[in-house]
Amino acid sequence: MSDRAMYWYDANDVRQQAGRRVLDALRTYRASEMAMRRRTQDSMGMGENDLLVLQYLMRAAGQGGEVSPVDIGRYLGVSTPSVTGILDRLERSGHLKRKPHPQDRRRLLVETTDLAHIEVRRTLDGMHTRMMAAVRFLDPRDADAIVGFLHAMTEAVDAVDPPVSAQVSTA
């Protein structure tokens, strides 16, 4: 293996090699998941942000949460006009509805429709069944370890480093 292939890893460190195998498997999974998202978007005739909004709304509803357009903007990291465009498209296609907030009439809440759930279920049911079959064998302690690992990876990826230009000083 070339020095370039070992850029971040010590070829003689067994633990780093094990970690590298895990990270390689995670990257392979991520690439597969991205390809699945593209197929799902094509199947449902939606853009990436449209599908992300539906997933976000469904996850929030499953946890008993309410979602406002502001929440969606923060989640996607997009402007208010962009959120409005996404919501308009999804509302026209029958995938979501906006309703007044029950305590604050100035605010809106957004929720998915039955049609959205039917289409997502129809499109992703087989994949979810295969995914559950892949994890069904896990011992609860193993599952806890994997969940802990994935949370740690999420934190590592979500942390924002300063721009490279700020890290490199010119002498």
Gap between the Cα atoms of 95 and 130, Å rounded: 26
pTM of the complete model: 0.66
Please report the domains of the chain, with CATH numbers, ordered by start residue: 46-136 (1.10.10.10)
42-99 per-position pLDDT tens digit: 888 888 899 899 989 999 988 988 999 999 999 999 999 999 999 999 999 999 999 9
From first CA to last CA, the distance across the chain in angstroms is: 34
120-133 per-position pLDDT tens digit: 888 888 888 999 99
Percent of the chain with pLDDT over 70: 89
3-state secondary structure of 63: coil
